[in-house]
Amino acid sequence: MTTILYGILVVVVAVVAAVVGLMLAQRLIPLSIREQSNTATGTIYAALYVVFGVSLGFSLFLVWQQFNAARQTVENEATSLQQIYNLAARFPESEQDRIKELAVSYARVVVEEEWASLQQGRPTERAQTLLGELRRSVVDLEPHSNAQDALYAASLQELDELEENRALRLLAAREGIPSILWVVLVVGGTLTIAFTYLFGMERAWLHAVAVAGLTAAVCLILYVIAILDYPFNSGVSVQPDAFELVLRVIQG
């Protein structure tokens, strides 16, 4: 709800600012001059709108892809953890208990502690420590048959995938789209809206409605890009559902 309210506030402020800017432009530039330049202004505006539209569409596609990739990374990490737990059950009880305990502890710490710290783009030391202990416990397994050799190799592979997906998750938590792209989006959006001030329309209220509608649309898309840019620290964020499911499964 906070995300929605904040988005509404941003759009309202932007629309008010855009309409005020239009009123100032109408006072400074006579209607007759603006009407005489409508054709030339329209030609230039069309090119500007296309360039900005392409940039906006590309950015929205980029952050949506990143958001989906982050969600898939979390699912892959949780799946690898569950696989390690299941593979450990095929080893002697004296060797499997420690691995199972560490797998459960890691999943619980990720859900209860680390997820909150992802909002600042940083991991928790405890989760990293548990992962290191889990690796040592898996590496220290001693296969006693060909079947256990295969299980041992599979466990190491799952452990590698777990660590790789964890690294990707932490990277997604602290890196968004490049700052220069935000400069392009903000400047491009401002120019696209401000350029509409140069059109001449006899009914000033109709011109204001058109500018307000365009401003609202641009701001909404920019706001969506902003909240999807960092998939772990916004109102619409990737949740630890996959880890919670793993905990329910392995704990019965």
* pLDDT score for 145: 80
Q: Are 192 and 55 within 8 A, CB to CB? A: no
Residues near 24 by beta carbon (within 8 Å), at least 6 away in sequence? none
**What would the DSSP string read from start to end of 46-105?**
HHHHHHHHHHHHHHHHHHHHHHHHHHHHHHHHHHHHHHHHHHHTTS-HHHHHHHHHHHHH
Cα–Cα dist 145/124, whole Å: 38
pLDDT in tens, 133-156: 999 999 988 877 888 889 889 999
| Banded model confidence at residue 1, pLDDT cuts 50, 70, 90 | low
**Percentage of the chain exceeding pLDDT 90:** 66
Say which amino acid occupies 191. Answer: L
pLDDT > 60? residue 52: yes
**pLDDT single digits (tens) 69-94:** 999 999 999 999 999 999 988 888 77
Lowest average pLDDT, out of 57-66, 155-164, 175-184, 226-235, goes to 226-235
C-alpha of 14 from chain center: 23
Q: How far apart are CA 72 and CA 242, in angstroms?
A: 10
Name the helix (H) or strand (E) containing 132: helix 125-139
Predicted model pTM: 0.84
